[in-house]
């Protein structure tokens, strides 16, 4: 059964349950998995955050729940119509579309976004499966991969312009026709994404270069997960040398608490963070800025995060705390603009692939 059919069946079951309550003369009820912090747990087997087994019950017999139930059913109907017509809408469009509903209008977009998330956790489907996605510009993929979009159009990521192939909001709708790359390098900043493209790192490393644009969107994380899982590409994550950069990498690796209900489709637990590490700052004599109070506070938070409990991560956090300094990816430019491709990245990749040899420029 494909995802669309599964999702429509789940929506039908949701509607049927509501009708059954009404036929019995009972107030309709919805059982919604709880997304409170205490119900978000780290699964050491899946190596990502997942939802626990706590639920909250909403009943139309409680006046405080009536509006939320009405909103949920309206969003479910909206998603069903989108899916049946193979149409898409942004979360922002859904919020304004709700202005035309006879009941259940949203106070603000935060409220409508939360209802969409409720529907995700209730049905076990991503909101993207309904055709609802965030208002965000897609990150880029550059390298030797040919993709086929739902309309049959085929796009090669090396021939789609300097920005590469733009990751679509609904990643599961595209097909990987052919891929000549042997690895994937995800880059935090678009500046360094373009640097690697300009230096032809995709050719020299037989790699796909993915721009994260800071904290990676769900679509970007899903794309990385698919490229790794389906094409067996090792994934390397290259970020700024500070606790915030390491967290950007960790969200790619183990997912986020907010997306606990869909992390198993978004996270890439085998992805490897290759820096900039605290050791790199010293080894490559990178320019630094001193930590501020927020940086030290962030380290203390990460020390308690279950995703950082391994020896490697604890060591990095301790080194940063002792060093009290951070560096950006762009700091590597002190050795020359090509240094990241000539020296830094080959060294980092060889730590995990000892026989790796970059191709000549």
For residues 241 and 286, the answer to whether their CB atoms sit within 8 Å is yes
What CATH number did the domain enclosing 208 receive?
3.40.1360.10
Query: Is position 205 within any domain?
Result: yes
Judged by average pLDDT, the poorest of 50-59, 124-133, 249-258, 314-323 is: 124-133
Task: Looking at the structure, tell me whether residues 120 and 218 fall in a common domain.
Answer: no
pLDDT-derived band at 276 (thresholds 50, 70, 90) equals very high
How remote is the C-alpha of 78 from its chain's centroid? Answer: 24
336 with 307, same domain: the answer is yes
Query: Does residue 156 sit in the same domain as residue 263?
Result: yes
Residue 200: the pLDDT is: 94
Residues 186 and 154 in one domain: yes
Same-domain check for residues 249 and 295: yes
Do 129 and 76 reside in the same domain of the chain? yes
Range ranked top by mean pLDDT from 45-49, 170-174, 277-281:
277-281
Kindly state whether residues 121 and 207 are assigned to the same domain: no
Q: Is the pLDDT of residue 99 over 90?
A: no
Tell me if 361 is assigned to some domain: no
pLDDT for the residue numbered 219? 93
Mean pLDDT of 144-166: 93
The secondary structure element, H or E, covering residue 275 is strand 272-275
Whole-number Å distance between alpha carbons of 61 and 333: 64
Q: What is the DSSP string of 81-143?
A: HHHHHT--EEHHHHHHHGGGSSS---SSHHHHHHHHHHHHHHHT--HHHHTEE-S-PPPEEES
Instruction: Assess whether pLDDT exceeds 70 at residue 137.
Output: no
Can you read off the two tokens belonging to residue 165? 């192939």
Task: Tell me the pLDDT band of 136, cut-offs 50, 70 and 90.
Answer: low
> Helix or strand or coil: residue 285?
coil
What is the residue range of 112's domain? 3-133
Q: What is the pLDDT of residue 64?
A: 92
Q: What tens digit of pLDDT does each residue of 293-302 get?
A: 999 999 999 9
Based on the fold, state whether residues 162 and 279 are members of the same structural domain: yes
Whether residues 118 and 159 fall in one domain: no
Active site residues: 96
What sign results for the dihedral spanned by CA atoms 147, 258, 117, 24? positive
Alpha helices (H) along 199-256: 201-204, 218-231, 243-254
pLDDT in tens, 162-221: 789 999 988 999 999 999 999 999 999 988 899 999 999 999 999 999 999 999 999 999
The tally of domains found in the chain comes to 2
Among the ranges given (45-54, 237-246, 266-275), the one the predictor scored with the smallest mean pLDDT: 45-54
Task: Let me know whether 183 and 311 are in one domain.
Answer: yes
Task: Give the CATH number for residue 58.
Answer: 1.10.10.10
Q: Which residues contact 314 (CB under 8 A, 6 or more apart)?
A: 303, 308
The C-alpha atoms of residue 39 and residue 53 are separated, in whole angstroms, by 7
């Amino acid at each position: 059964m494909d995802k669309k059919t599964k999702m429509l069946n789940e929506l039908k079951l949701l509607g049927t349950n509501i009708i059954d309550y009404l036929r019995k003369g009972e107030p309709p009820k919805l059982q919604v998995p709880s997304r409170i912090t205490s119900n978000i747990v780290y699964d050491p087997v899946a190596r990502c955050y997942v939802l626990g087994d706590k639920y909250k019950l909403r009943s139309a017999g409680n006046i405080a729940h009536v509006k939320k139930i009405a909103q949920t059913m309206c969003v479910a109907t909206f998603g069903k119509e989108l899916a049946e017509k193979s149409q898409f809408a942004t979360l922002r469009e859904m919020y304004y579309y709700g202005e035309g509903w006879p009941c259940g209008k949203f106070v603000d977009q935060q409220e409508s976004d939360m209802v969409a998330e409720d529907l995700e956790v209730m049905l076990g489907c991503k909101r993207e499966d309904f055709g609802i996605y965030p208002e965000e510009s897609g990150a880029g993929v550059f390298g030797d991969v040919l993709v086929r979009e739902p309309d049959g159009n085929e796009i090669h990521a090396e021939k789609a312009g300097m920005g590469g192939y733009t990751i679509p909001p609904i990643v599961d709708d595209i097909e990987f026709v052919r891929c000549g790359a042997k690895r994937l390098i995800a880059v935090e900043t678009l500046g360094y994404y373009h640097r690697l493209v300009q230096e032809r790192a995709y050719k020299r490393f037989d790699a796909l270069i993915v721009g994260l644009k800071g904290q990676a969107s769900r679509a970007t994380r899903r794309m990385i997960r698919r490229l790794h899982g389906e094409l067996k590409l090792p994934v390397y994550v290259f970020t700024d040398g500070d606790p915030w950069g390491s967290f950007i990498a960790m969200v790619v690796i183990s997912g986020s608490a907010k997306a606990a209900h869909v992390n198993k489709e978004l996270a890439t637990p085998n992805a490897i963070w290759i820096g900039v590490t605290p050791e790199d700052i010293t080894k490559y004599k990178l320019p630094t800025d001193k930590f501020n109070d927020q940086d030290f506070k962030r380290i203390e938070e990460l020390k308690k995060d279950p995703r950082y409990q391994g020896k490697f991560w604890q060591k990095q956090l301790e080194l940063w705390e002792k060093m009290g300094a951070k560096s950006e990816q762009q700091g590597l430019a002190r050795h020359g603009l090509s240094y990241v491709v000539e020296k830094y990245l080959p060294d980092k990749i060889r730590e995990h692939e000892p026989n790796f040899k970059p191709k000549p420029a």
